Amino acid sequence: MLVAAAVCPCPPLLVPDVAQGAAPELDDARVGCTDAIAVLAASRPDLLVVVGPDPQAAEPARYPAGTPGDFRGFGVDLDVRLGAAEPDTGAAVPEGRTLPASLAVGAWLLARDDWGDAPVEGLAVPERLAPERCAGAGRELAGRAPRVALLVMGDGSACRTVKAPGYLDERAAGFDEEAFRALGAADASALAALDADLAHELKAAGRAPWQVLAGAAEGAGLEGRLLYEDAPYGVGYGVAVWA
């Protein structure tokens, strides 16, 4: 059963070594992420699953504890591992397999905040995974252990300004407003109803992971709180907790 969730943005710029001179622009987001992960730790889960988008994936993919990741693709010689320093003996990491960027950012957040001792796994979902499949994946995660927590990585629209990665789209602000309202209110029904085609047009990479969360939260009776919301690079970033 899902007992807690933290929702965090997943740009590699969240990692100061990647952001370098632009690092202060996301300081408030980092503080929000620290507070959100503290909620996960306080929930004392039996299992923590980091969920994030993978634009290269065709199907959802699981990553066991110990899976390595890095930020060399962003010009930084920085390595991370998912959860435990070494993979569990029962879930060995296939040689050469590495975390997608969103899960690498999640792994970095967990390592930075020394979040706890529960087993950690990863689930990468295709950015265009159908809403009903997202919900099904979430329900399956919620049933993995008596007490499950999720760290859900994902960004809002990337079309908030003319300098945004997707340029300016007048629909972007409204999409983000509804998405972050739902995240802050733990409104699983509203998250499940987000338009997948519109999210794709607005380059909202968080849509699929958020709908995985919506599926996992069915019947859990969680309450939400929005800790941070902004669009410093023309991309909607939000931090929320459900507990």
- Does some domain include residue 52? yes
Q: How many structural domains comprise the chain?
A: 1
In the prediction, which pLDDT does 21 show? 82
In the prediction, which pLDDT does 114 show? 78
Using CA atoms, how far apart are residues 75 and 17, in angstroms rounded to an integer? 9
- Does some domain include residue 189? yes
In the prediction, which pLDDT does 23 show? 80
In the prediction, which pLDDT does 91 show? 55
Domain limits at 25? Answer: 2-58+115-242
58: Cβ–Cβ under 8 A, 6 or more apart, which residues? 126
- Does some domain include residue 8? yes
- As to burial, measured by CB atoms within 10 angstroms (0-12 exposed, 13-18 middle, 19+ buried), residue 221 is exposed
In the prediction, which pLDDT does 84 show? 65
Could you report the average pLDDT of every consecutive run of 10 residues in the chain (243 residues)?
98 95 90 97 97 97 96 96 62 75 98 88 97 98 98 98 96 98 98 98 98 97 98 96 98
Helix (H, G, I), strand (E, B) or coil at 241: strand
- Does some domain include residue 92? no
Q: Which two tokens stand for residue 134?
A: 């997202």
- Does some domain include residue 120? yes
Pair 11, 237: CB distance under 8 Å = yes
- Does some domain include residue 85? no
In the prediction, which pLDDT does 192 show? 98
- Does some domain include residue 125? yes
User: Domain of 227: which CATH number?
Assistant: 3.40.830.10
Using CA atoms, how far apart are residues 78 and 65, in angstroms rounded to an integer? 18
133-143 burial by CB neighbour count: b if 16+ within 10 A, else e? Answer: bbbebbbebbe
- Does some domain include residue 77? no
Cα-Cα end-to-end distance for the chain = 12
